[in-house]
Structure formats: C-alpha cells, structure tokens
Structure 1
Amino acid sequence: MHLQGENLTGGYGGADILRGCTIGANKGEVAVIVGPNGAGKSSAMNALLGLLDLRTGNVTLGGQDITTLPPPQRVQAGIAFVPQTHNVFVNMSVEENLQMGAYLRDDDISGTMTEVFDLFPILKQKRRQPAGELSGGQRQQVAVGRALMTRPSALLLDEPTAGVSPLVMNELFARIVAVSRSGVAVLMVEQNARQALSIADSAYVLVTGENRHTGTGAELLADSEVRRSFLGG
C-alpha cells in the first residue's frame, strides 16, 4: 500500500473519534471512504495529513513511516489534499491558482501545467478567467489541478462532488479516475456512496471510527448488508 494509515486511534484532544481503523490507497488506484455522518471519515483523512492526535497507529507513505512528520513535511513528501470548501483562490485566475499549487517547487512547472490542462481541458479554455466565476464543478477541477501541481504521489479528496449535479459528478469521477491512472494513489471521502463505490478499486465503510466493511468497490456494492445499511437498499 503506497499510502496507509494502520490501526488509527485518536481524536482532537477529547474522546477518540477513530478507533483502530485502517485505510489506504495504492498508486494507480482510487480508494473510497464512505459511511454515515459522524463516522470519522474526514478524521481518518486528517490523521493521514497529521491533523489529528493519534494515540495508536502509524502512517506510511511509500514504505516510509511518516507518523511523526508535521503536515507541511507530509506535503513535501508527496501528499496533496483538496478540502471540501474554500479550496480555490476566487479572485485569482485559473492559471494563477495552478501556479500557487507549485509554490514549493523551484523547477520548471510548465510540463505539469500542460498535464493538468490535458486532464481538465475546460481549465485551459478558462485559464485567464477568475476562479470565482466558474461553476462548482469547474472550481473542483481547479482545486484538484492545483493539488496536482505539487506532483504528489498521493491525492486526498474530501467530498469532491458535494453540491454538484449528477452529470457534473459523473464527469468529476471520470477525471478522478484519470488522475489515478496516471500513477497517483487517490483516497477520497464521498457522500455519494453508490456512485463512488462504482469507481473504487478499494473501499472502506467506516462506522463510529471503525472499519465496518472493507473490500473492492464491486464487492461492497454487491454486499447485501452494505446496500441495506448504507446505500438505501
């Protein structure tokens, strides 16, 4: 597993939110975390980012233990994160947003920007337009593109399709799959569970901070208990 959090237990200073959960993603694959509200999905992602106090468990990236690294060093090591909201600079152009994503780099970023424009052609068309003028789905593409400008080996997405139409959701999912197939490990928290599982190479159902179900997306879609409890039948 390229990025893995194993036996994660901890919280934000009070009661434990995570209770021994294990999550992760391989390069070239999409892993999805689903579950009810309050299940600890975003907290599990925060644990990988170093934003949650762990009492037990460890986080590894490319086989290296990064449990004690602060968040900025995890970004430098290869993890990129796209939060659910406030994830673009609305007054900056699309191109300026992408340039901001490369702020840690001191090399030529033009090749990476070309790759981002190839993945998200609409962004090339709108490269001079302020990000605040874009649709919700296009803003999400800017946010993902900006994260990719760091050349990450692992990309974490928190609710990337929140608030967009089903048509835009399907397009975003297709782009996310394309990102993974370029060799990035993608780990995504998603409320649209059925649709997310349909594109997932691996998936985790969390309940009260614990792994309730783990398998491929297809396996969990076919599981009668998962369908009944989490997918509406």
Structure 2
Amino acid sequence: MLEISNICAGYGRTEVLHSLSISTGNSGILSILGHNGAGKSTLLRAAVGLIKPTSGSVKLFGQDVTSTSTHERVKLGMAYVPQGQQSFTQLSCMENLQVVADLQGRAGRERIAEALDRFPALTQVLDRQAGLLSGGQRQQLAIARALITAPKILLLDEPTEGIQPSVVAEIQRTIIDLANDGMSIVLVEQNIGFALEAASNYAIVARGQVVATGQGGETTVEKQEKVRESLAI
C-alpha cells in the first residue's frame, strides 16, 4: 500500500533520513520505533508530502507520488495525524469535524457519525471549544477528523503521548479496531509493549535509517529487551 524506497530527506542542509526504506501491507499496523531525533516524524512527513525527499521514491497503491502534493495523497486515501493533539482551538469540537466533512460533500457529513462511533466520548463535548478540551479529547478529535476523509492508510505520530491513561486505552483500542476493519496504519509509538502487541510488523529507526525489523503480535519480556537493544544501536 505504501512503499518508501531509499529516501533521503531533511530540513534545509540537514539531512535526517539516509536511504531509508519501508513498506506496508494492505491492512494491519506497521509500528515505527526509535529514540527522539531518530527520524520517525520526518519519515511520516515525507510519506505524506510535507517534506520533499532529495532522493528516493514514495509510492502509494503502486503510484509514484514522490512529487505530488499532500492534498493529492489525501485524495488517494492517505491521512496523517501529527504529534501534539492539533485542532482549530477557537472552533467547537463539532465545527472541527465539520471543517473536514464539508470538503467531502454528503459523504463527509455521514462520516461524522461514523467517526463519533469510534470515539463516543466526544459526543459529550461537541459544543465545547476545542482549545478547552483535555489533551486526550483533542487527540481523539484529531484522529476523528482524519477518519472523516475515509483513509485507506492512516499515519499516526505518537497518538498516546502525554495523554491520561484512561484515554490512552481508548485510543489504543480504536487503533486496533481500525486495523482489524482493514485499514493500513503506520504507527510511530514510544510504548514498546503496545507497539509490538498491536503491530503486524515493526521497524526500528536510528540515525535516519532502519536498523532492525520484525513481526509483531506479541510483547514478551524477551522481545521487548531485544527491541531495546536495537534501539541502542
């Protein structure tokens, strides 16, 4: 579904990714692990088109999208939720959803209900200004907005970072449910246990390169230790 081949990318003269390659299946979760500064967020930004690689290629559903805009990639079925529980803080929760839905026509309005089914807690705060929501509520809102575009592949950057544990569990369940329903997900996650348990496959990034890969689906102590050893490379 997503194939990134030998990309080099960064910011100005600072190269962050060095001939990095990953690919996803048609469904399931690919967890991306790595320390801060390893290049994980840069990888997602390059995948969605916010950063243009200096070399290498990005293919989506077999189509080369290396030079296409973020908007075109969204139209093809990609959605991206960056770090930071981002929202339009002056708008209400419902208005945040409607901003995206209005761009989708009648289908978008129907998808608001579907997104709220994924995050029923949001139905209690639809009239509340997004800037007054808790961090967990804002993150749920950010993911719900992405789902309104009906993505086939969803890129999530640290979706549980800095969020209260009770909401973390809800977000984790939703991510797994989306994958079980046939969505392909690229998940950047610091929680090694969840990242391994939820993933079909995982990749460890260090210094802008993939240094290890493996199959997910389990989170034994031995496997977590093996991953931590790779993170130290």
- Quick check: TM above 0.5? yes
- C-alpha deviation, 1:213, in angstroms: 1.0
Question: Would the aligned equivalents of 2:21 and 2:210 in 1 still touch at CA under 8 Å?
Answer: yes
1:83 is matched with 82
Question: Would the aligned equivalents of 2:52 and 2:67 in 1 still touch at CA under 8 Å?
Answer: no
The two structures have a TM-score, normalised by structure 1, of 0.89
Question: Would the aligned equivalents of 2:116 and 2:122 in 1 still touch at CA under 8 Å?
Answer: yes
Name the SS of the counterpart of 2:136 in structure 1.
helix
In structure 2, give the amino acid aligned to 1:41: K
- TM-aligned CA distance change 1:91 to 1:31, over 3 Å: same
Separation in 1, partners of 2:154, 2:199: 14
Q: Identity of aligned pairs, percent? A: 39
Task: String of CA shifts for 1:132-172, please: whole Å, max 9, x gaps.
Answer: 23221111110000011111111111111111133322221
Separation in 1, partners of 2:37, 2:72: 28
Name the SS of the counterpart of 2:211 in structure 1.
strand
2:133 is matched with 134
Separation in 1, partners of 2:106, 2:172: 30
1:227 is matched with 228
Show structure 2 runs of 5+ residues with no match. none
Task: String of CA shifts for 1:14-54, please: whole Å, max 9, x gaps.
Answer: 14211121223334312111111211111111110122232
What is the correspondence of 1:1-233 to structure 2 with a 5 Å cutoff? Answer: 2-85=1-84, 87-218=86-217, 222=223, 224-230=225-231
Q: What value does the CA root-mean-square deviation take over the aligned residues?
A: 2.1
- C-alpha deviation, 1:4, in angstroms: 2.1
Name the SS of the counterpart of 1:17 in structure 2.
strand
Task: String of CA shifts for 1:59-84, please: whole Å, max 9, x gaps.
Answer: 11112111110222212222111111
- C-alpha deviation, 1:187, in angstroms: 0.9
Separation in 2, partners of 1:138, 1:146: 12
- TM-aligned CA distance change 1:223 to 1:126, over 3 Å: closer
Task: String of CA shifts for 1:77-107, please: whole Å, max 9, x gaps.
Answer: 2211111125112222221111112243233
Name the SS of the counterpart of 2:68 in structure 1.
coil
- TM-aligned CA distance change 1:160 to 1:148, over 3 Å: same
Separation in 1, partners of 2:170, 2:231: 23
Question: Would the aligned equivalents of 2:85 and 2:135 in 1 still touch at CA under 8 Å?
Answer: no
Question: Would the aligned equivalents of 1:13 and 1:53 in 2 still touch at CA under 8 Å?
Answer: no
The two structures have a TM-score, normalised by structure 2, of 0.89
Separation in 2, partners of 1:21, 1:214: 13
- TM-aligned CA distance change 1:145 to 1:223, over 3 Å: closer
